[in-house]
Amino acid sequence: MKPWPFEYHRANSIEDAIATLGRHGEGARLLAGGQSLIPMMNLGLATPDLVVDVGNLSDLAYVLVEDGVLRIGALATHNTIMEADASASACPMLVVAYHSVAHHTIRNRGTLGGNICHADPASEMPLVLTLLDASMVIRGARGERVVAAGNFFIDAFETEVEPAEMLTEIRIPAQAAGEGYAFEEMSQRKGDFAIVSAGCRLSIRKGQMTNVRFGLTGAGAQTRRMSVVEAKLEGAGPDDRLLAEAAELAVVNSDPSDDIHADAAYRLDLVRTMSRRVLAAAVRMTAKQGAL
Ligand SMILES: Cc1cc2nc3c(=O)[nH]c(=O)nc-3n(C[C@H](O)[C@H](O)[C@H](O)COP(=O)(O)OP(=O)(O)OC[C@H]3O[C@@H](n4cnc5c(N)ncnc54)[C@H](O)[C@@H]3O)c2cc1C
């Protein structure tokens, strides 16, 4: 299918992009890697009358570590981030999760900024960034604001970024030494969006789990950090029975619906299995690093 007619503007700076968005109003959309917006336009699901192409703003394609924070420019592609030494050293969980995101060719064009602004509830990165306590830098005509991942994702396909604003940077605090983490998903084919995915990170100090982060996609209408599961584990010893109980708690607190990919009962089964797996894997990882 072909998109509706639209005007095209290639931005030559962040300021130019923001000013153009501001002048044009709600009918304008930014174009980054085009891996979500172009299919949406071809299907008639997005009908912008102006597309502001920011894909050439290479100043925003960096991945670096500064003062214990992984800083990722909004236009860094998935593959650039996945392959960067800075990602591996500061946030290895991000790299592990990236192995489940799309196909190589899609990751060559798609950007992390575009991915999280699109905010597909089946997407891995909104969950991973939430579990990693990331924050997002959003720029508009009045300046810059920094929004925690927990507040950034408002609903399915809806974020804090206003129509005349642009996401410029993602900041992720470096993971603590000795921290355990795991990310798993079930999809119909490798590289497809997940039916259910689960992520967990935690540390163990003096035999007790601490800084527990746990969440799921595919378990409800949107990405969910499950604080009820985290609270059950925080401060407790990591025994197998408790981890199994925590996985059951994840099931009880999930509310998936039937769709063309899977029915709700199957998703709940996946929630149970994936939750158990990631919790056990994160504990095992801390044990291997001698943190128990
Ligand atoms: C076949 C296929 C399989 C895929 N599989 C997966 C998968 O398994 N998991 C997954 O997570 N994703 C998957 N994707 C989506 C992919 O990750 C996209 O690259 C990503 O969602 C969008 O990034 P983009 O740079 O292409 O953004 P674009 O498509 O250019 O833009 C997406 C949206 O974000 C907005 N936007 C872009 N950049 C900014 C910015 N800096 N500030 C404000 N708004 C901005 C745009 O206006 C648009 O609304 C898949 C895509 C395809 C085509």
One-character DSSP codes across 169-235: EEEEEPPPTT-EEEEEEE-SSTTSPPSEEEEEEEEEETTEEEEEEEEEESSSSS-EE-HHHHHHHTT
Say what the pLDDT of residue 27 is: 92
Domain 180-288 architecture: 2-Layer Sandwich (3.30)
* pLDDT at res. 290: 62
Q: Which stretches within the chain are classed as H helix?
A: 14-24, 37-42, 78-83, 85-90, 92-98, 104-109, 112-118, 124-131, 149-152, 227-233, 240-252, 264-288
Q: How far is the CA of 34 from the centre of ligand 1 (A)?
A: 7
In the reported structure, the alpha carbon of residue 113 is separated from the centroid of ligand 1 by a whole-number distance in angstroms of: 8
- Integer Cα distance of 233 and 200 in angstroms: 11
Contact 154, 116 (CB under 8 A): no
For ligand 1, residues with CB inside 6 Å are 29-37, 39, 74, 101-102, 106, 109-111, 113-115, 117-118, 123-125, 161, 166-167, 191-193
Q: Domain 61-173: state its class.
A: alpha beta
pLDDT, residue 134, reads 98
pTM (2 d.p.): 0.95
Closest Cα to atom 2 of ligand 1: 102
Instruction: Say whether 180-288 and 7-53 share the same fold.
Output: no
Architecture of 7-53 per CATH?
2-Layer Sandwich (3.30)
Q: How far is CA 10 from CA 1, 25, 75, 109, 156, in A?
A: 24, 17, 14, 17, 28
Name, in order, each residue with C-beta under 8 angstroms of 207's C-beta and a sequence gap of 6 or more. 237, 292
Per domain, the residue ranges of the chain are 7-53, 61-173, 180-288
Of all atoms in ligand 1, which is nearest to the CA of residue 161? 43
- Exposure of 56 in the CB half-sphere (CA atoms within 13 A): 9
pLDDT at 206: 93
Radius of gyration of the chain (CA): 19
Stretches where the chain sits below pLDDT 50 are: none
Distance 275 CA to ligand 1 centre (A): 27
**Cα 100 to ligand 1 centre (Å):** 15
Of the chain, the end-to-end C-alpha distance in Å amounts to 56
Q: Specify the residue for token string 């909104």.
A: 126
pLDDT, residue 236, reads 96
